[in-house]
């Protein structure tokens, strides 16, 4: 079963940032086999998980004026007003924040939520609380990116380290023109990604819903429908 899992995962591209970790896990697994078959099997299982963690599948991004897509795979933990991070040049007033929690089994490559120009990138060191907690947005290590759309709207996306996450990678810089759904970063290993919607954007997801980064539409800036509600059934 493990071999089938690894074979199936390898059919999906693995991000290059993961290969050093995969190699390290594989070396440890081989060393464990010299001590015990059981320990070696556990090491092989951990190596398979590492391969799975760094998978980087292509995504089909919806194209349409006003659409904002999820920046990450995971579960929506909150859709609520919150002050945006300082340093991005955004108004000091609450904006609707869509928070997505990534477990260690989710794809951790992050995607840009809109087309536009990157106008600010702000990194802030911090703690490593459980990323599912609301205060993680303020206390944890994080990296915030502001994207300005062609029609003047500003969207912020924030990568937040989690309980066992110890590294945030961001691959965009100020002044770069980027497209919605493009890869812009990665977080190792469990984490959270917040998207701050521009004023007037209608959120189209609800807490508990699963999102796919680069594919799930989380808001529409042109919609006049009320915010979505959801029921567990």
Q: What is the pLDDT of residue 6?
A: 47
Judge contact between 73 and 194, C-beta under 8 A. no
As to burial, measured by CB atoms within 10 angstroms (0-12 exposed, 13-18 middle, 19+ buried), residue 222 is: exposed
Measured CA to CA, the distance from residue 107 to residue 70 in angstroms comes to 13
pLDDT digits (tens, 9 = 90+) for 162-189: 766 567 889 999 999 999 999 999 987 7
What mean pLDDT is predicted for residues 87-101? 94
Judge contact between 156 and 144, C-beta under 8 A. yes
User: Who wins on pLDDT, 206 or 20?
Assistant: 206
- 3-state secondary structure labels for all residues of 158-187: EEEECCCCCEEEECCCCCCEECCCCEEEEE
CATH superfamily of the 67-220 domain: Glucose Permease (Domain IIA) (2.70.70.10)
Measured CA to CA, the distance from residue 160 to residue 31 in angstroms comes to 34
Nearest to 49 by CA among 168, 190, 183, 214: 190
Band (9; pLDDT cuts 50, 70, 90): very low
Nearest to 64 by CA among 115, 117, 116: 115
Nearest to 12 by CA among 115, 90, 107, 114: 107
Task: Check if 169 is active-site.
Answer: no
- Name the most confidently modeled range: 14-18, 49-53, 95-99, 124-128: 95-99
| CATH 2.70.70.10 domain extents, the chain | 67-220
Under DSSP, is residue 204 helix (H, G, I), strand (E, B) or coil? coil
* pTM for this entry: 0.83
At residue 154, does pLDDT exceed 50? yes
At residue 155, does pLDDT exceed 90? yes
Q: What is the pLDDT of residue 131?
A: 57
Q: Which of 70, 99, 137, 191 is catalytic?
A: 191
């Amino acid at each position: 079963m493990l071999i089938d899992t690894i074979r199936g995962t390898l059919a999906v591209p693995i991000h290059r940032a993961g290969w050093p970790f995969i190699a390290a896990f594989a070396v440890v697994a081989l060393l464990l086999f010299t001590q015990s078959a059981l320990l070696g099997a556990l090491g092989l299982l951990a190596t398979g998980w590492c391969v799975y963690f760094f998978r980087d599948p292509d995504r089909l991004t919806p194209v349409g004026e006003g659409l904002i897509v999820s920046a990450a795979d995971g579960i929506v933990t909150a859709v609520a007003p919150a002050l945006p991070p300082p340093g991005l040049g955004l108004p000091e007033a609450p904006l609707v924040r869509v928070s997505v929690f990534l477990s260690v089994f989710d794809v951790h490559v992050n995607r840009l939520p809109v087309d536009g120009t990157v106008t600010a990138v702000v990194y802030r060191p911090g703690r490593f609380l459980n990323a599912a907690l609301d205060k993680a947005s303020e206390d944890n290590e994080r990296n915030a990116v502001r994207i300005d759309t062609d029609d003047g709207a500003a969207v912020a996306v924030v990568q937040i380290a989690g309980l066992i996450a110890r590294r945030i990678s961001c691959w965009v810089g100020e002044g770069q023109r980027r497209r919605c759904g493009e890869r812009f970063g990665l977080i190792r290993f469990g984490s959270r990604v917040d998207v701050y919607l521009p004023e007037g954007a209608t959120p189209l997801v609800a807490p508990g819903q699963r999102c796919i980064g680069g594919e799930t539409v989380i808001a529409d800036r042109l919609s006049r429908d009320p915010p979505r509600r959801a029921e567990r059934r």
